[in-house]
Structure 1
């Protein structure tokens, strides 16, 4: 557990470590990871789900029933459903998003991967993601798990963050830099 503390911290980190250790002990790491991936997508897509986990207006019982219903409807495994129940019972559902991120970090570390956050102007194809993964692996020297997202305000290009290193090759940044350079010419 000591090595886990260096990777994640805070309340979300403690819950992620507990779930990670339970999943590892019960040899259900892949199943739990899949369940949490579904949960992450639900949080991103559903305003009602975000409201359920973050609003203090819902009672402990309402949140418990709500997440139990979500777990059943989404076909989540027993361990994941129980974990959501514990979060609801302890009034920690608001930490779910951060806990999912912390769990991803633990899994990546367990597999010897480095996580890369990639933001692009448009959704990347599987081929583009594969090519990017190969290039990042060559640059970093480790397997790379890409967490891709879309931000249309970038206009074009992408930004890549691996650990503390960030490469911003977006059209938006290039245009902003050009605008700053042009102001200096006047």
Structure 2
């Protein structure tokens, strides 16, 4: 298993594994994947939903009722909706984000994919992402998903993280190295 899996709790991994197995058995992997990512986006956008999921102050019944309404309004149905409801019923909503992450990691592993977390000073064009993907594909020998992030503080260049490995070719790091070298000389 990849390094990312060790960051995910055992409970979350068991739920994620069971969901993947069930989705594969029913032939609905793409639908479940889309539904989970849509729900994750809702959690990221809506503070009230995030609070509902994280807070132990709400009973399982209240959480289930609210989540049922949210899922229905968002158009998330089938196995994905049933999974989220089951997690609520079992009072495991606190681990839902980890379950979604575990699903993502295990699904990528089953597909033979790795995720490269790329940080740049400016947003990358589609052409640059494609070129970067090809270069990383060649070095990794696997299909690579690019998770791009913009951080203007790196000034230029890029930082690439794949699992526990990192290549820092940022201008900020090069300038800091030069600054350190100049202090030793002077």
Q: Name the TM-score class by shorter chain.
A: 0.7 to 0.9
SS in 1 for 2:15: helix
Identify if the C-alpha distance between structure 1 residues 119 and 97 changes in structure 2 by more than 3 Å, giving closer, same or farther: farther
Residue 36 of structure 2 corresponds to 36
Residue 105 of structure 1 corresponds to 105
Map 1:83-122 to 2 at 5 A: 83-122=83-122
Structure 1 residues not aligned, in runs of 5+: none
Residue 173 of structure 1 corresponds to 173
Q: Give the distance between the partners of 2:86 and 2:32, measured in 1 at CA.
A: 15
Identify if the C-alpha distance between structure 1 residues 25 and 172 changes in structure 2 by more than 3 Å, giving closer, same or farther: same
Deviation at 1:22, TM superposition (A): 0.9
Residue 14 of structure 1 corresponds to 14
**Is 1:115–1:145's contact at 8 Å kept on the other side of the alignment?**
yes
TM-score between the two structures when normalised by the length of structure 1: 0.85
Question: Greater relative contact order: 1 or 2 (C-alpha under 8 angstroms, separation 6 or more)?
Answer: 2
Identify if the C-alpha distance between structure 1 residues 128 and 17 changes in structure 2 by more than 3 Å, giving closer, same or farther: same
Residue 138 of structure 1 corresponds to 138
Q: Give the distance between the partners of 1:157 and 1:56, measured in 2 at CA.
A: 44
RMSD: 2.4
Residue 163 of structure 1 corresponds to 163
TM-score between the two structures when normalised by the length of structure 2: 0.85
SS in 2 for 1:124: coil
Look at both structures and tell me which one has the larger radius of gyration over its CA atoms. Answer: 2
Deviation at 1:105, TM superposition (A): 1.2
Residue 82 of structure 1 corresponds to 82
**Is 1:17–1:103's contact at 8 Å kept on the other side of the alignment?**
yes
**Is 1:31–1:77's contact at 8 Å kept on the other side of the alignment?**
no
**Is 1:87–1:93's contact at 8 Å kept on the other side of the alignment?**
yes
SS in 1 for 2:53: helix
SS in 1 for 2:123: coil
| Number of equivalences | 183
**Is 1:40–1:97's contact at 8 Å kept on the other side of the alignment?**
yes
Structure 2 residues not aligned, in runs of 5+: none
